[in-house]
């Protein structure tokens, strides 16, 4: 079970700038298992040059995936971490993001590295739901 959060650059980017941001996202994604949410990644740019990406929150990971993540001893990448990466990219590359998800096409923005409060509240609610479902869903499995 999951929900996808989409992000779209508010301005078109030159191909070299888009490539730089893609590489920066890959670096920023490192060091996490990304069990709770897919890492920040981008689809092919639209014809105008906007970057569009999406990250699916994984509210109930498969027990085998959870066990593998636990063995890695890396922190989990969550929806909160995904937002942190987008905020970092916004700050470091002067890029703003329009955000949406499967049930709200006008969620809000990240501007100058700052996430709108409403966006943060909705994403945090999803993260909290995932935490609650994860505790219940994985409680019967021994992850060691």
Residue 76, domain CATH: 3.30.70
Confidence of residue 124 (pLDDT cuts 50, 70, 90): confident
How far from 114 is each of 70, 107, 109, CA to CA, in Å?
31, 14, 8
Is residue 72, in this structure, part of any structural domain at all?
yes
Q: Does any domain span residue 14?
A: yes
Examine residue 144 and state whether it is found in any structural domain, yes or no.
Answer: no
Q: How many domains does the chain have?
A: 1
Residue 143 pLDDT grade (very low, low, confident, very high; cuts 50, 70, 90): very low
pLDDT tens sequence across 59-102: 777 888 788 878 888 888 888 999 999 999 999 999 999 999 88
For residue 121, which of 67, 71, 83 has the smallest C-alpha distance? 83
Predicted TM-score (pTM) of the model is 0.84
Q: What is the pLDDT of residue 133?
A: 57
Is the model's pLDDT at 141 over the cut of 60? no
Please give the residue range of the domain that contains residue 27: 2-136
In a domain, residue 12? The reply is yes
Q: List pLDDT tens digits, range 20-61.
A: 999 999 999 999 999 888 999 999 878 899 999 999 988 777
Rounded Cα distance, 29 and 82, in Å:
8
């Amino acid at each position: 079970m999951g929900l996808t959060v989409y992000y779209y650059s508010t301005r078109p980017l030159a191909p070299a700038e888009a490539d730089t941001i893609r590489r920066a996202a890959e670096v920023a994604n490192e060091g996490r298992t990304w069990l709770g949410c897919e890492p920040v990644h981008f689809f092919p740019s639209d014809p105008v040059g906007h970057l569009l990406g999406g990250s699916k929150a994984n509210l109930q990971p498969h027990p085998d995936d959870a066990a593998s993540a636990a063995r890695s001893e890396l922190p989990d990448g969550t929806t909160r971490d995904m937002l942190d990466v987008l905020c970092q990219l916004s700050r470091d590359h002067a890029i703003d993001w329009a955000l949406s998800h499967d049930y709200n096409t006008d969620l809000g923005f990240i501007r100058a590295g700052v996430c709108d409060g409403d966006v943060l509240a909705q994403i945090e609610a999803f993260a909290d739901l995932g935490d609650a479902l994860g505790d219940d869903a994985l409680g019967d499995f021994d992850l060691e």
